[in-house]
Amino acid sequence: MKVCIVGASGKLGQYMVQHALDRNYEVVGVCREESVEKLDAFKGRITVVPGATDNREVIKRAVSGCDAVLVVLVPRGESIPIVRSARPPPRAPVVSSHRACSLHVQLHHFLRSVVGSI
């Protein structure tokens, strides 16, 4: 399975990259150009697509051929506690707060507007 992780260089993004690699997924990570070095631990094991996450071409290139897209973005300057502490124990059920669900829905609509149909 090939997955794209948008926001791969952040704390939760890096966790999701490792989680996907542990399951032998092919991973494409999207992050800002200035954050690419944060993904050095995964060098040679993932494809990094640097660029702005609101750039249609960056997102189209990143999601091309992917079976799934995970979005773990937080707007610059924002702090969302659920994202900072979102590392679940192994095999734990994922329970989302209303705030996290709201963020996911907003990001899904944003991606649909950027890429078109997801």
**Alpha carbons 53 and 63: distance in angstroms, whole number:** 12
Q: At what angle do helices 98-115 and 56-63 cross, to 10 degrees?
A: 100
CATH number, domain with residue 13? 3.40.50.720
Per the structure, how many domains does the chain have?
A: 1
Domain that holds residue 100: 2-115
In this structure, is the dihedral angle defined by the CA atoms of residues 87, 93, 97 and 100, taken in order, positive or negative? Answer: positive
Q: Quote the pLDDT of residue 53.
A: 87
pLDDT tens for the chain, 118 residues: list them: 999 999 999 988 999 999 999 999 999 999 999 999 999 999 999 999 999 988 989 999 999 999 888 888 866 665 554 444 444 445 444 444 344 444 444 455 555 555 555 4
> With contact defined as beta carbons under 8 Å apart, do 79 and 73 qualify?
no
Q: What's the pTM? A: 0.67
**Alpha carbons 61 and 87: distance in angstroms, whole number:** 28
61 secondary structure, DSSP code: H
